[in-house]
Each structure stands twice: as structure tokens, then as C-alpha cells.
Structure 1
Amino acid sequence: MTYRVALLGGTFDPVHHGHVALGAHFMRLLGADELRVLPAGAPWQKAALGAAPEQRAEMAGLAFAGQPFKVVVDTQEITRGGPTYTVETLRALRAELGPETSIAFLMGADQLRRLDTWRDWHELFGLAHICAAARPGFTLDQLPPAVAQEMARRAGTPEQLRNTPAGLACLAPDLALDMSSTGIRAALQRGNKPDSLISPVVLDYIEQHNLYK
């Protein structure tokens, strides 16, 4: 049987319930064997981050602990150093996991809207399936034309994604998550506790390490 890995990349600055819900949603949908959580090292499209790379990885580990599926926090982007490009990470993972493993790269619709600005973005489909979660009512018309065309051309069912290594696209338009790390950082800077958006163990970690002040 095909081994199935779901990958959830992000800055996780800080990690919140939306990240966990996105990972869990696709783990169920794809029947994946393992969720790899990949904290970004130095993402080239983002400004300076509020927490150190190791702290973001530790917070991700805390947030995903206790899930009913296997979770691995993969720090390769942090240890690699230099600017972080998803295509390089997927090449490394494909080399590690082999040609037969089904790899699904997960993202939110906001990342999908910028996919055509990523380095070698067409090559991503040769390395993994691209899966995006969107709020109800989201359509491909809201994407850049080149991305919409690629997503439509490659649209596959969860069953097809489970049993092929790469090359398909899946849009799950039923995940209503209205939260962002930016908004959470702003709340923390104001001295508020966004405890409905972030797990208590992560909030404790943030307070202990005096982050986002």
C-alpha cells in the first residue's frame, strides 16, 4: 500500500488552532500515515519574524502534541540555513521518502493566491500534490489565472491523491478558519490573551519566553 505523508509548512509565528485544524482536516481527508510539520527557516517573502526558528519549532511541537495521528516536526528548513524555498524542501523530502510515497503539500487559500510568485512553482506539482483549504464560497476565479488553470487541470479526488505520488491538486472549500498569526501577534502586543485562537500550552510558552511583546 502507498505510504502517505501530508506536509504542513509555515512560519508558525505563532502556531494557532487554524494550523492544527488544517493539518487534521487533510489527515482525515487523505487518510495519511504521517503529518510533517515544517517550520520555515528564513522565508524569503516574509519580513523579520517575532520568534527564533527553534522557538517556532518548539511551539509547533506543543500545539500538535496529542493528535490522534503521527506528527513529526521536521526542522530541515531551519538547519539548512539561508533563504527558504519550498521547492528545495520538497526535493529533499522526495529524495528521503522515495518515488512511490504520496506526498501532499498543504496550504491555506491565502498562500495559494501567491503561488505563482514562489520559486519554480510549476515544479512543485512534480514533487507533491498541492492541497489547499478555503473558506466556504471560495472559487478558482479568485486565484491568479495561471494558478487557477493549473489547479483546475490537475484536480483530483482524495482517493486519487492517496494512491499516486504527486501531480494532483485538491481544494477543500469547507474549512472556515478566520484567524492569522499577524492578528494574534497584534493582540499579544496589546497585552491581550487570544486564548480562543491558540492552545494554552503555546500561550504559556509565549509568556515564559517573553515573546511578541
Structure 2
Amino acid sequence: MNTSTKKIGILGGTFDPPHLGHLKLATHFAKVLQLDTLLLIPSGTPWQKDSLITSAEMRLRLTEAAGIDLARAFLYLNIPTQVGIDRIEIDRPGPSYAIDTAKALRERFGPQANLIWLIGADSLIKLPTWNSWDQLLSYVNFAVASRPQYDLSTELPKEITELLNKCQCVEVSALENSPFGHIYLDKSLSVDLSSTNLRNQLRDPDSQTTAFDQIPSHALEIITNLGLYK
């Protein structure tokens, strides 16, 4: 691969709130895939979530705060990946569809950039419910992390099994050498990415302290100062 080709990781989500599961996933793939840049992209209007989510601007602020902790972790671990917080979905009107973001990022970074969308196994299982999901691999690669309670060997929809037969790469180098079109299943990291459970814990005085331990310090400071998730 051309050494000047940029490898850009994309980690999207509601980030309501961002937590250590997100940072573990980001750190793992930044290291394994040797990413030049990692973009955290909070969704503007997540169409598959309920309407009770925190405002987009507040989630952006929390994501920016978590990004500080992520950048510090990279520095400490000697990972040269640059961290960026991108408001592309917040600034775009209407529902936040991954396909629109993938197209916009491909246009921004050009045809040679290696765009790698980072997701958990649960998102891979639900991929057929995404808008224009079957077009995504024309713009990006996927790197998929294991998640507790999600067994990819038994739970995959037929469409995803067929997609993996066609697009899965076993070696990470295959993913690194192609700007789009591949899926890499990483079984070495099992990470919980549920913000829903965390919000429930934050609202319960008995489990609040446990929940606080799961939130990056800069984001937690904002949450406690503003009394969010009560």
C-alpha cells in the first residue's frame, strides 16, 4: 500500500454518554490497524433510538470531553493516532444515516483514503436494518469487535452471512490495503458498548458509583456539574 495513504477510523454512536467501552474499542483498533486518525462522530438525530436521548449539542460536548481522555491514553500508550471529533451528523438535517456520512467522508478524504468504520458485533447483526446498508461497503471497510452476549456464529442474519462470505478478510493486512469493501472480525477484544445500561445505572443512586467508573473523567466532570442523567 502507498505509505501516503491515510487510514481513518470512524467511530459513530449516540455517545449518550460516551464511556470506557467506546474508548477501549477506539484504542484497540487505533493500535491494531495503525490508524492515522480516529474520528468520533456523535449522531445528530439517531432514527433507531427513542426520542429521550440527550440533545445533540450536549452529546457533542461530552464526546469532545471523552476525546481529551482518549488522546491522553494514546499519548500514554505511545499510539500516534490523531483524535478528531466530527460534527458532520449533527450539522446535517434529518435522520442520521451511516450511508450519508460514509459518502460525505469518502468525498472529503478522496478515493485512496482507507476509511474503516469501527463497530461492535451487535451492530453487524443489525446491519440489515440500516438505511441502504448494502451500499456501505462501496465507501468504507468494517472492523468489528466482539461483544459479550452476541455470538456471531449463531446469531447472524442470512444477509450478513452472505456478506461475510464475500467480503470478510482474515488478515488485518487485507483490510489495511484496501480503501473499502472488506470486513475484519476481531475476536481479541470483547467490549460492552451499551450506553442504555449506563444511563439506567446513573439514574439509580445504588448503582451510580459503579456507573461513574465507566465514564471518562472529563465527560464525567460535565455530567456531575450539570446534573445530567438524573
TM-score range, shorter chain: over 0.9
Q: What's 1:52 paired with?
A: 55
Q: What's 2:7 paired with?
A: 4
Q: What's 2:195 paired with?
A: 181
The reply on whether 1:108 has 2:108 as its aligned counterpart is no
CA–CA distance in structure 1, aligned partners of residues 166 and 103 of structure 2 = 23
Residue 8 of structure 1 contacts residue 23 of structure 1 at CA under 8 Å; is this kept in 2?
yes
TM-score by length of 2: 0.88
CA–CA distance in structure 2, aligned partners of residues 49 and 188 of structure 1 = 15
Instruction: Give the superposition deviation at 1:94.
Output: 0.2
Q: What's 1:200 paired with?
A: 217
Please state whether the residue corresponding to 1:166 is helix, strand or coil: coil
Residue 37 of structure 1 contacts residue 73 of structure 1 at CA under 8 Å; is this kept in 2?
yes
1:179 and 1:114, CA in 2 relative to 1: closer, same or farther beyond 3 A? closer
- Aligned residue identity for 1:60: T
Please state whether the residue corresponding to 1:72 is helix, strand or coil: strand
Question: Superposed, which structure 2 residues align to 1:7-156 within 5 Å?
Answer: 7-65=10-68, 66-68=72-74, 69-135=81-147, 138-156=151-169
Residue 59 of structure 1 contacts residue 202 of structure 1 at CA under 8 Å; is this kept in 2?
yes
Higher mean C-alpha deviation, range 45-54 or range 124-133: 45-54
- Segments of 5+ residues of structure 2 without an aligned counterpart are 75-80
Q: How many residues align?
A: 213
Q: Over the residues paired in the alignment, what is the CA RMSD in angstroms?
A: 1.6
CA–CA distance in structure 1, aligned partners of residues 52 and 39 of structure 2 = 21
Residue 151 of structure 1 contacts residue 170 of structure 1 at CA under 8 Å; is this kept in 2?
no
Please state whether the residue corresponding to 1:43 is helix, strand or coil: coil
Please state whether the residue corresponding to 1:172 is helix, strand or coil: strand
1:148-203 alpha-carbon deviations (Å, 9 max, x no partner): 22123211221111121100001111222235211110111113131221122212
